[in-house]
Structure 1
Amino acid sequence: MTYTTLISAAELAEHIFDPNWVILDCRHDLTNPDAGRNAYDEGHLPNAQFADLDDELAGSKTDAAGKFRGRHPLPERADFLDTLRRWGISDDTQVVTYDAHGGMFAARVWWMLRWAGHANVAVLDGGVPAWLAHGMFLSVEPSSRTMGSLSDRPSLVATVTADDLLKNLEDRKRTIVDARAPDRFRGENETLDPVGGHIPGAKNRFFKDNLQADGRFKPATELRATFEQLIGKPEDAVMQCGSGVTACHNLLAMEVAGLQGAALYPGSWSEWCADPSRPTATGE
């Protein structure tokens, strides 16, 4: 059996030492770049390796022409494939990603593996709190794997560019969904968004609304009902956020709900608002 969306703590506990499973600790703090690594060093799931959002899961913030690409642009595909192989991932490897933040960072790595063409990847539902609640332990032992042999396969996901969304302002063929907190969407949080607001016409679906009180994802039927009211056809939807991270949480929630085909705008608001020629909106 393979896992492609979510995996429970009980299910993961049965496979935590399987040689063909790779576990990735994706913890991070947008305001403290060292927080994830420090948390890993203090205690992580057995056999887990640390996946650094800034250094391993994002590329250069500027392109060859010096144009800003956002706070967490995608790395070069070849570089990311090399990183996955270094983590011990091959074509038949089951990958599990986790964090302690409701999946906000683990979902980004889940999406990126699918971007690299690897389908056998799932997010630990509930993250570290669910693992501990299941009576399992954390380890302080570092983990590494022998080099994997992951192939370069076609991507399983879609992306759009800022130019695509500029065109969309005219034809309105796509529904844009912003995963940031409502205050950021409205343009009221200057700490994380020095330029406040959102792409005109975008709708707001805060990623935490995908979760139950215990930090696990809501049932598929509930997620499906919500997203169907929000977007219409999933293949006409674009998910975005501040820098292309929490938008992946909405993409995972849609996948859990059986709604496939939505695209990610990797540059998201941080790229969009860096060009003053692009229109912006504030408020609801």
Structure 2
Amino acid sequence: MTASQLIVSPDWLANHLQDPNIIIVDCRFSLANPQLGQQQYQESHIPGAYYLDLEQDLSSPIQKHGGRHPLPEPEKLAQKLSEIGITSQQTLVVAYDDSRFAFASRLWWLLRYYGHQPVVLLDGGFSQWKNLGYPITSELPHTKLGQFTPKIHSEMWVDIETVKARKDLPGVVVVDSREPDRYLGKTEPIDPIAGSIPGAVNYPWQEVTEPTGFVKVNEQSQRWEPIQTAEEIIVYCGSGVTACVNLLSLELAGIHQAKLYGGSWSDWCSYLIEEQKK
């Protein structure tokens, strides 16, 4: 998979703003302030962009187990995607955020999981679009009607039972996408227990991009070289969101079929809490 099939430049998007077959989706979000992304979108966004919220649209409500950002209900997400003009396998979706793909890659992964391949990410995100002098607006786009029908690719997602059963098998690599201090259990700002899944290797998701938000196009293959011959790669993070940045990186490196442990550490440690109570 080449970068040109997964990433588009601000210049490319600026030249395609009027393309009727393109839907732009603003995915800005802040875990610390869940209303911030919507507020930022209403203040200014790329012309024609619709807004999808990580917790309202791209996740379902939290349960006892399953992590902090369970996958959305397929029908509910399909309705939302249809309402912003996306038709399955036809509409090219361009997703962006302002967090080095942290949230836009969740939409990228979800669309592919639900069977929609034409989806790309905006290199550099909103800040770089703005810094380069491309147009922004506060005007909300007109309603468009698409027809999105989810066709779930269940092989892309695994649950805790699958991780437990497979993590120690030869040829299986479990990738922790969080920053090193969280992986090592030195700090845990969000979840109730610090640590990582035993045997996991650490590939922090922030390494995929420059601090500016532009993808390190030429470094992805080299990055995954130590595990490129693995028979199965399972990727997780805190709640199944930023792990998608690593799944994007693996695709850029030409490594396909990697799987998302959707519940991630927040799901894994929910069972550790239960064990501690016994």
Task: Assess if the C-alpha contact under 8 Å between 1:176 and 1:237 holds in 2.
Answer: yes
Q: Which moved more, 1:202-211 or 1:186-195?
A: 186-195
Matched, 1:123 2:124: no
Q: Following superposition of structure 1 onto structure 2, how do residues 29-178 of structure 1 map, counting pairs within 5 Å?
A: 29-62=30-63, 67-91=64-88, 92-155=90-153, 158-178=156-176
Partners of 2:96 and 2:230 in 1: how far apart?
25
Letter in 2 for 1:250: N
Distance apart, 1:166 and its partner CA: 1.0
The residue type paired with residue 30 of structure 2 is D
CA displacement 1:81-135 (0-9 Å, x = unmatched): 1121112101310100001111111111100010110000001011012212332
Aligned to 2:205: 207
Any conservation in 2 of the 1:26–1:50 contact (CA below 8 Å)?
yes
Where structure 1 has 5 or more consecutive residues not aligned to the other structure, the ranges are: 280-284
AA at the equivalent of 1:68: H
Kept in 2, the 8 Å contact 1:235–1:261? The answer is: no
What is the SS of the residue equivalent to 1:163? helix
Q: Distance in 2 between matches of 1:28 and 1:219?
A: 24
Instruction: Report the counterpart of residue 256 of structure 1 in structure 2.
Output: 252
TM-score by length of 2: 0.92
Distance 1:155 1:170 in 2: 24
Contact 1:180/1:207, CA 8 A, preserved across alignment: yes
Identity %: 38
How far, CA to CA, are the matches of 1:171 and 1:131 in structure 2? 44
Q: Is the 8 A contact 2:208 2:246 kept in 1?
A: yes
Question: Which amino acid in structure 2 is aligned with residue 30 of structure 1?
Answer: L
**Offset of 1:210 from its aligned partner?**
1.0
Secondary structure of the 1:275 match is helix
**Structure 1 length normalisation: TM-score?**
0.90
- Whether the 8 Å CA contact 1:235–1:263 is kept in 2: the answer is no
- Matched residue, 1:5: 6
* C-alpha distance in 2 between matches for 1:246 and 1:88: 26
- The CA distance in 2 between the partners of 1:187 and 1:52, in whole Å, is 29
CA contact (8 A) 2:115 2:153 kept: yes
Which range moved further: 233-242 or 247-256?
233-242
Q: Does the Cα contact within 8 Å between 2:192 and 2:269 map onto a contact in 1?
A: no
Identify if the C-alpha distance between structure 1 residues 70 and 21 changes in structure 2 by more than 3 Å, giving closer, same or farther. same
Aligned to 1:282: none
Query: Secondary structure in 2 aligned to 1:254?
Result: helix
Question: Is this contact kept in 2: 1:235–1:260, CA < 8 A?
Answer: no
In the alignment, is residue 237 of structure 1 matched against residue 238 of structure 2? no
Task: Tell me, in whole angstroms, the C-alpha distance in 2 between the residues paired with 1:144 and 1:109.
Answer: 21
Give the counterpart letter for 1:237 in structure 2.
I
Aligned-residue RMSD, C-alpha = 2.0
CA distance in 1, matches of 2:61, 2:191: 20
Higher mean Cα deviation, 169-178 or 37-46?
A: 169-178
Would you say 1:246 and 2:242 are equivalent positions? Answer: yes
Closer, same or farther: CA 157–168 of 1 in aligned 2, 3 Å? closer
Q: Aligned partners of 1:139, 1:242: CA distance in 2, in Å?
A: 33
- Distance (Å, rounded) in 2 between the aligned partners of 1:234 and 1:144: 46
Match of 1:266 in 2: 262
Deviation at 1:149, TM superposition (A): 1.1
Taking a change above 3 Å as real, the CA distance of residues 54 and 277 of structure 1, as seen in their structure-2 partners, is closer
